[in-house]
Amino acid sequence: MLRPRRAIAIRPPLQADSLTHRRGAPSSRQRRLFFPAFADRRHCPEPQYVSGRYSPRTRQSRRALYLTRSANHYQPLVLRGIGLGRHERRDRVRRQDQTNLTFLSARFAAAVALALSATALGCFMTAIPAPAQNMEAPGTPPAGSDSETSAEEPAAEPRIPYETAIEGVEDDALLDILRRTSQLIALEEEQPRSVTGLRRRAEDDVERLLKALHSEGFYQATVDYRIDTGAEPARVTLDIKPGTVYLLAEVDIAYTRELPEDAKVPRSAGDLGLEYGMRARAPRILQAQRALLRQLENNGYPLAEVAERKALVDHGQTTMEVRWRIEPGPFLTFGAWNLEGLESVERDYIDGFRTWQEDEAFSQDQVADVRRELMETRLFASIGVERGEPRDGELPVTFRFKERAHRSIGFTARFSTSEGPSGTAFWEHRNFFRENETVRLSLNAGVIEQSVRTDLSKPRFLRPDQKLIANTELRRLDNDAFQEEALSSFLGLERQLNEAWSASAGGLAELTRDTDNEGQRTFVLFGTPLTLTRDTRNSLLDPTEGSRLAFETTPFIETVEDTQAFLRNVVAGSTYLALDSEERFVLASRARIGSIVGVETEQIPAGKRFYAGGGGSIRGFDFQTVGPLDDDNDPLGGRSLIELNAEVRVRVTDNVGIVPFIDAGNVYDEPMPDPSFKGEKKLRYAAGLGLRYFTGIGPVRLDVAFPLNPRDVDDTFEFYISLGQAF
């Protein structure tokens, strides 16, 4: 025998996409809803909610119609006065009509008597003389009254504090959904004024939770509640029985007209990412529908729409069938490519972003990708995309641009006890040659370093994923380790391999004059920096998830007195992990290892050696002082390096955060790091606490760090102020 099936409608619930059907859930325990049989309230009193059930307040009604939820379908339940024979029903109706007529006559007579009584009372009151009027100003108390007595302020209305508990759900994911759906839980701080209000809130929650359970595939679920007003606070218990989970048994996709066999359109459940036997969750079904339309939009049917959707639930088999009937619309190809609003940007440059030909099948994703890439150029404040009217099987696309200002200036400031104050000012033009070329001129002024630098980048150089980069820098350094005056230039290419990976290569020429413990020396360096980077961070200034891994190797040749070659290698990585869903607790870590091979330490220009210590390295130690020192306690630098950092970034409020951290590391004279637990080679540790103030351009950082195993030359603490996180 075939089990009855019922078509239900799929629509989003109050808080998430859901699959819902007629109100309530089928259950062996019958929940009854009272429906009035007459319009007359005298014969049909309002129902009153009692312990999660509906029941009439009185027993005056003799023709009450009830509706019962059974395990498979809804069926009327025959009660008093229903189900009599035809003649008996006719006699009953005749007697009822006579009763109604008698009732109306009595009501009319009562109304006439009331009107006559009111008229007589009015005449009687007219004959009574009016009392003397108080001639004092309105609001003045009469003579003999206590003028200091005032009406007491009304007492505050009582509230019913309560707490909510959900019982019967073992699945943590389902329990989390129900807790987020429950208005009882969401409104616990807004206490109701009476127990009746609390009951009303609980009854509303019953329906909301049933919808959420249906959405998750539990169509036999029941929800009851209990209110314990004797507890302090009152306790509302939601008793939930999810029942058997329903599984997806069949998916049918039909089109209103026959499509070519080679048309790239979804035809089966697998094309939508659905599997038979999976839980019949409404969000997953709706996601599949969006995927269905998206596949059509991306394969020449941008006007496709759902003509009909049905979900059939078989309560006997606890399964669901989903059927779509799709109106695909006409097959369309890309038409004209129209650009409007361009002022200072060359049209030919924008044309290079187009990824389609005019005879290709229309794809909405291609249009969206082009718009996204154009927004990433930072040339436009907004880009609107409009599809025109189809004509001759083609769909034109119009891009409307609003350009933003291409020039900007800015500055940053930093301070630390080890480096002193410093600042950087810059001027930038992002459309220098009208094709998104960026020219940036920056000036850095500080106690230790002063520099002037010019950077040029030209995107989409020779190919869309490649950028030409060039820079020239004139700098002067003066610290405890060495003094340097240098002029350097770099020219190279940077290519984006995919969303995460990028690579760069180029040539470097540098003229430098160093003064260190070896005396003053002049070097001419030629190098070819090669880098490979993987970056999945969600932010540059304040990442909360993702990681960054960079490999950098640079072969150098130095010439003046002797020609020597050496290889400088650096591997650096950082990770970021949010410990909660709101990203208020973020665990961040960083590691950096460096090595120079080919020559001895004293043969390497001082500016190319490794140093550690300071705000971007090992906090708590003076700038570049970690590692080998000379007789004057000045740093010598080294051929290898290791740095380790870890911190927990805690966001206390929307604008303020605290960061406890610990750093470690050292510099070695050997080509490879050789950490030890004793002597000068042991790792140097420091710990501290930071304060963050979050702004629209990134967090302002204030860190105070203390060395845990200081040397005699180390200070008690160091503090740092800058923009952005430490790493």
Cα–Cα distances in angstroms (integers) from residue 576 to residues 427, 526, 699, in the given order = 32, 36, 16
**Minimum mean pLDDT among 78-92, 190-204, 241-255, 328-342: which range?**
78-92
Distance, CA of 348 to CA of 228 (rounded, Å): 74
- Given a contact cutoff of 8 angstroms between Cβ atoms, the answer to whether 667 and 626 are in contact is yes
- Spatial strand order of the sheet with 333-340 comes to 333-340, 394-403, 380-387
pLDDT surpassing 70 at residue 54: no
Going by C-alpha positions, the residue among 642, 637, 647 that lies closest to residue 572 is: 642
247-327 and 407-723 in the same fold: no
Q: If phi over 0 gives left and psi between -120 and 50 gives alpha, with beta otherwise, what is residue 724? A: left
Which residues neighbour 75 within 8 Å (Cβ) at sequence distance 6 or greater? 68
pLDDT tier at 348 (50, 70, 90 boundaries)? very high
pLDDT confidence of residue 26: 45
pLDDT surpassing 80 at residue 383: yes
pLDDT surpassing 90 at residue 395: yes
pLDDT digits over 615-668, tens only?
Answer: 989 999 999 999 999 888 889 999 999 999 999 999 999 999 999 999 999 999
CB atoms within 10 A of CB 506: 18
**Minimum mean pLDDT among 103-107, 208-212, 332-336, 481-485: which range?**
103-107
pLDDT confidence of residue 480: 83
- Packed helices 195-215 and 172-181: angle between N→C axes, nearest 10 degrees: 130
pLDDT confidence of residue 270: 93
- Radius of gyration, CA atoms only, the chain: 40
pLDDT tier at 518 (50, 70, 90 boundaries)? confident
Q: Region 264-283: what's the mean pLDDT?
A: 94
- Packed helices 364-376 and 282-297: angle between N→C axes, nearest 10 degrees: 90
pLDDT digits over 481-511, tens only?
Answer: 889 999 999 999 999 999 999 999 999 999 9
Percent of the chain whose predicted confidence (pLDDT) is above 70: 78
Residue with tokens 């500080």: 446
pLDDT surpassing 60 at residue 84: no
**Minimum mean pLDDT among 155-159, 369-373, 448-452, 496-500: which range?**
155-159
**Which listed CATH number (3.40.50, 3.30.70, 3.10.450, 3.10.20) goes with 162-241?**
3.10.20
DSSP lists the bridge partners of residue 209 as none
Going by C-alpha positions, the residue among 439, 385, 365, 446 that lies closest to residue 412 is: 446
pLDDT confidence of residue 29: 36
pLDDT digits over 695-719, tens only?
Answer: 988 899 999 999 999 998 999 999 9
pLDDT surpassing 90 at residue 675: no
Residue with tokens 């307040």: 57
pLDDT surpassing 90 at residue 52: no
Q: If phi over 0 gives left and psi between -120 and 50 gives alpha, with beta otherwise, what is residue 392? A: left
- What is the Cβ-side half-sphere exposure of residue 1, based on CA atoms within 13 angstroms? 3
Residue ranges of domains in the chain: 25-88, 162-241, 247-327, 333-403, 407-723
Q: Region 153-174: what's the mean pLDDT?
A: 83
Residue with tokens 């740092």: 720
- Given a contact cutoff of 8 angstroms between Cβ atoms, the answer to whether 196 and 48 are in contact is no
- Burial profile 519-549: b = 16 or more Cβ within 10 angstroms, e = fewer: eebebebebebebebbbebeeeebbbebbbb
Q: Region 511-522: what's the mean pLDDT?
A: 88
Pairing of strands 162-167, 234-241: parallel
Q: Region 156-171: what's the mean pLDDT?
A: 88
Percent of the chain whose predicted confidence (pLDDT) is above 90: 68
Q: Rounded to the nearest 10 degrees, how much is the dihedral formed by the CA atoms of 671, 674, 675, 681? A: -80
- Given a contact cutoff of 8 angstroms between Cβ atoms, the answer to whether 610 and 618 are in contact is no
- Given a contact cutoff of 8 angstroms between Cβ atoms, the answer to whether 397 and 385 are in contact is yes
Q: Any long-range contacts for 360-364 (C-beta under 8 Å, 24+ apart)?
A: 360/333, 360/334, 361/264, 361/299, 361/300, 361/331, 361/332, 361/333, 361/334, 362/297, 362/300, 362/302, 362/332, 362/333, 362/334, 362/395, 363/297, 363/298, 363/299, 363/300, 364/294, 364/297, 364/298, 364/302
pLDDT surpassing 90 at residue 556: yes
Query: Which CATH architecture is the domain 407-723 placed in?
Result: Beta Barrel (2.40)
Q: Greater confidence, 7 or 431?
A: 431
Give the 3-state secondary structure of residue 647: strand
Average pLDDT over the chain reads: 82
pLDDT surpassing 60 at residue 244: yes
pLDDT confidence of residue 93: 39
pLDDT surpassing 80 at residue 81: no
pLDDT confidence of residue 479: 87
Tokens of 722: 């800058």
Cα–Cα distances in angstroms (integers) from residue 451 to residues 423, 524, 617, in the given order = 11, 19, 21
Q: Region 452-456: what's the mean pLDDT?
A: 98
pLDDT surpassing 80 at residue 79: no
Query: Under CATH, domain 247-327 is a member of which superfamily?
Result: membrane protein fhac (3.10.20.310)
Q: Region 158-170: what's the mean pLDDT?
A: 92
pLDDT surpassing 90 at residue 163: yes
DSSP sequence for 259-323:
--TT-----STGGGT--TTSB--HHHHHHHHHHHHHHHHTTT-TT-EEEEEEEEEETTTTEEEEE
Which residues neighbour 355 within 8 Å (Cβ) at sequence distance 6 or greater? 366, 369, 370
Structural element, H or E, at residue 530: strand 530-535
- Given a contact cutoff of 8 angstroms between Cβ atoms, the answer to whether 495 and 502 are in contact is yes
pLDDT digits over 578-593, tens only?
Answer: 999 899 999 999 999 9
pLDDT tier at 563 (50, 70, 90 boundaries)? confident
DSSP lists the bridge partners of residue 115 as none
Going by C-alpha positions, the residue among 330, 263, 266, 335 that lies closest to residue 302 is: 330
DSSP E strands, 341-387: 380-387
CATH topology for the 333-403 domain: Ubiquitin-like (UB roll) (3.10.20)
pLDDT tier at 694 (50, 70, 90 boundaries)? very high
Distance, CA of 724 to CA of 701 (rounded, Å): 6
The conformation of residue 617, written as its DSSP 8-state character, comes to S
Tokens of 622: 């003076």
pLDDT confidence of residue 157: 64
